[in-house]
Amino acid sequence: MSRYTSATPADRAEMLATIGVDSVAELFAQIPQSLRLDRPLSLPAGMSEAEVYERLAALAARNVDCEEQVCFLGAGMYDHYVPAIVDAITQRSEFLTPYTPYQPEISQGGLQAMFEFQTAMSELTALPVSNAGLYEGPSSVASAAYLAIGAGKGRRRFVVSRGVHPHSRETLATYSVGFDAEIEEVDLRDGLTDAATLAAAVDDETAAVFLQSPNFLGAIEDVEALGAAAKEHGALLVVAVDPMTLGVLEPPGEQGADIALGEGQPLGNRLDFGGPSFGFFCGTEELIRKMPGRIAGETDDVDGRRGFVLALQTREQHIRREKATHNICTAQALNALAATIHLAWLGREGFRELGELLVRRTAYARERLAAVAGVELLHEAPVAREFALRLAAPVDRVLERCAERGIAAGYPLGREYPEYENGLLVAITERRTREQIDALAEALGAAVAAEAVTA
């Protein structure tokens, strides 16, 4: 018997008799002998639960996580506080273990949760249509590109600001090979997308324009102004946003976005070394039949009771097959539920207050750090919860010194933005206290001073 199975020799004998064979080997006879694996799998023998736990704990112990190190890392995923009720609810068997809700009569819990999620994300982005989630942020950007291609018109060009997350731009480039599409990137100037360059890049062959706000350097873009070029040429305006800032920042739906999407991790989800989280994807009413992913819809049953079903399924792969709006099947439903619970817990006032808290602490951190010798702001554009610095010493060395003091000081920009060598991206969450920010300022100052001397 392997773990979790129950077939005893007696069970097997009965079952084989009913089937009418002498051994299980006969059932495997349909596999040609030449394709049979003639040795056991070269894997360690199975272990007891206690041993598996120890093994996984030993691996965990070799990771420096946010309990051991004060984390100012961001770049799309943030060390927010997730309330305990999120775990308690998402760990319930009834939410953790069911399948996709293809049988709506016994899936009302999941379908209603999707409906609530869709409502919440629609509220956050101020766009009327939301799906029930995609995998995560960067691949959602690529999914928007696929929608733009499928919107007919035959256009195959994308214009993308370099303020969009590097992972999103790389993912878009990967997918675009399959779309046979061309990408033109627009540079940043003083931390923001250069409006003139953007306008010059957009033409009548452009299927979509991609912006991010706050952008990767933390700067809040003037999406409405930048988006005008897209409108003029009939291109879709796609805006990636940080959901945690939507309590205080103008939502993309009020800025002319056709599609608003992004990385959902800050809402209700752990860091988990990058996943699982979820991507959110919202659009205008016109785009409803082109939306990727599951969508829950409200309806009635035969007795007039209110209920929910998977709506508009003819968009999806299981019905539309090669003409589906997307190939997605399994998405990230449990992670979307976590987000909904977190948003309900924050509530209308709490969500706004949290946004205000982030902005104020970020302003404080930015001012403190800019005042440190050898540290200057990389740009002065308005920010919400993340900002970029330029150091007067090699950023890798500075980060190492800060790490030795128990602080992950931020995300080094140089690898993905060679023009910002020694650039550092610092992220703030409600868990980063004033004391921790002050300690960061001190550590950064000491590290830069030490490295500048030895440079």
Partner 1 sequence: MILSDANCPDELLYHDQHDWARLEGDEHAVFGITWYAQDSLGEVVFYDPPEVGAEIHKDASYAEVESVKAVSDVIAPLSGEIVEVNDELADSPEKINEDPYGEGWLVKVKLTAAAEADALLGAEEYRKLLENE
Partner 2 sequence: MNQQDEGVLTIFERSKPGRRAAVLPAAEVPEPPLEELIPAKLLRAEPPRLPEVAEPEIVRHYNRLSRRNFDLDSGFYPLGSCTMKHNPRLNERVAALPGHARLHPAQEPRRAQGALELMWLLQQSLAEICGLPHVSLQPSAGSHGELAGLLLTRAFHADRGEARTKVLAPDTSHGTNPASVTMAGYEIVKVATDERGGVEMDDLRAKVSEDVACLMLTNPNTLGLFDENITEIAALIHAVGGTLYYDGANLNAVMGHSRPGDMGFDIVHVNLHKSFSQPHGGGGPGAGPIAVSDRIEPFLPRPQVVRRESGNGSGPTYDLDRDRPKSIGRLRGFQGNFGVFVRSYAYILSLGGDGLAEASETAVLNANYLKARLAEGRAGKYLPVAFDRHCMHEFVLSGKPMKRELGIATLDLAKRLLDFDFHPPTVYFPLLVDEALMIEPTETETKESLDVFADAIEQILAEAEVDPDKARQSPHTTPVRRLDEVKATRKPVIRQALD
Q: Which residues bind partner 1 (CB under 8 A)?
A: 289, 313-314, 319-320, 323
Among residues 152, 234, 261, 403, the one that binds partner 2 under rule CB under 8 A: 403
Least distance in angstroms from the C-beta of 230 to partner 2: 19
Q: Is the dihedral of CA 128, 132, 134, 135 positive or negative?
A: positive
Residue 108 backbone phi and psi in degrees, to 5: -65, -30
Interface with partner 2 in residues 194-213 (CB under 8 A) = none
Which of 192, 233, 190, 178 has its CA nearest to residue 209? 233
- The sheet carrying 129-130 orders its strands as 129-130, 279-283, 259-263, 236-241, 206-213, 157-161, 182-186
The pair of structure tokens assigned to 420 is: 């910002």
Residue 92 backbone phi and psi in degrees, to 5: -65, 140
CB neighbour list of residue 12: distance below 8 Å, 6 or more residues apart: 24
Decide: is 320 part of the binding site for partner 2 (CB under 8 A).
Answer: yes
Among residues 195, 199, 228, 271, the one that binds partner 2 under rule CB under 8 A: 271
Question: In the chain, what's the furthest Cα-to-Cα distance?
Answer: 83
Decide: is 193 part of the binding site for partner 2 (CB under 8 A).
Answer: no
Of 316 and 386, CB closest to partner 1: 316
Among residues 382, 442, 450, 452, the one that binds partner 2 under rule CB under 8 A: 382
Decide: is 244 part of the binding site for partner 2 (CB under 8 A).
Answer: no
Decide: is 373 part of the binding site for partner 2 (CB under 8 A).
Answer: no
Which of 320, 333, 225, 319 has its CA nearest to residue 276? 333
Of 2 and 454, CB closest to partner 2: 2
Return the amino acid letter for 358. Answer: L
Say if residues 259 and 237 touch (Cβ distance below 8 Å). yes
Residues across the chain: 455
Decide: is 189 part of the binding site for partner 2 (CB under 8 A).
Answer: no
Decide: is 183 part of the binding site for partner 2 (CB under 8 A).
Answer: no
Determine the Cα–Cα distance for residues 132 and 147; give it in Å rounded to an integer: 16
Decide: is 401 part of the binding site for partner 2 (CB under 8 A).
Answer: no
Least distance in angstroms from the C-beta of 351 to partner 1: 36
Among residues 182, 187, 190, 298, the one that binds partner 2 under rule CB under 8 A: 298
Interface with partner 2 in residues 104-133 (CB under 8 A) = 104-110, 112-116, 118-120, 122-124, 126, 128-130, 132-133
Contacted entry of partner 1, partner 2, none for residue 453, CB cut-off 5 to 8 Å set by kind: none
Least distance in angstroms from the C-beta of 227 to partner 2: 14
Among residues 151, 183, 195, 363, the one that binds partner 2 under rule CB under 8 A: 363
Determine the Cα–Cα distance for residues 264 and 139; give it in Å rounded to an integer: 12
Among residues 195, 311, 370, 377, the one that binds partner 2 under rule CB under 8 A: 311
Among residues 231, 233, 352, 405, the one that binds partner 2 under rule CB under 8 A: 352
Alpha carbon of residue 90 to chain centroid: 18
Per the omega criterion (within 30 degrees of 0), is the bond before 214 cis? Answer: yes
Least distance in angstroms from the C-beta of 421 to partner 2: 17
Decide: is 61 part of the binding site for partner 2 (CB under 8 A).
Answer: yes
Window contacting partner 2 (CB under 8 A); options: 59-67, 191-199, 233-241, 372-380:
59-67
6, 10, 33, 274, 289 from 17: Cα distances, Å: 18, 11, 24, 49, 53
The pair of structure tokens assigned to 100 is: 């996709």
Per-residue exposure over 251-270, b if at least 16 CB sit within 10 Å of its own CB, e if not: bbbebbbbbbbbbbbbbbbb
Least distance in angstroms from the C-beta of 324 to partner 1: 10
Which of 243, 257, 332 has its CA nearest to residue 292? 332
Interface with partner 2 in residues 69-98 (CB under 8 A) = 69, 71, 73, 75-77, 79, 83, 85, 87-89, 91-98
Contacted entry of partner 2, partner 1, none for residue 35, CB cut-off 5 to 8 Å set by kind: partner 2
Decide: is 162 part of the binding site for partner 2 (CB under 8 A).
Answer: no
Of 373 and 433, CB closest to partner 2: 433
Site string for partner 2, 22-41 (x = CB under 8 A): --x-xxxxxxx-xxxx--xx
Q: Tell me the β-bridge partners of 391.
A: 375
Window contacting partner 2 (CB under 8 A); options: 195-203, 331-339, 370-378, 447-455:
331-339
Least distance in angstroms from the C-beta of 183 to partner 2: 12
Least distance in angstroms from the C-beta of 309 to partner 1: 9
| Cα angle, residue 310 at apex, residues 305 and 311 outer, rounded to 5° | 95
Of 19 and 329, CB closest to partner 1: 329
Helix (H, G, I), strand (E, B) or coil at 180: coil
The pair of structure tokens assigned to 142 is: 């690529």
Contacted entry of partner 2, partner 1, none for residue 27, CB cut-off 5 to 8 Å set by kind: partner 2
Least distance in angstroms from the C-beta of 312 to partner 1: 9
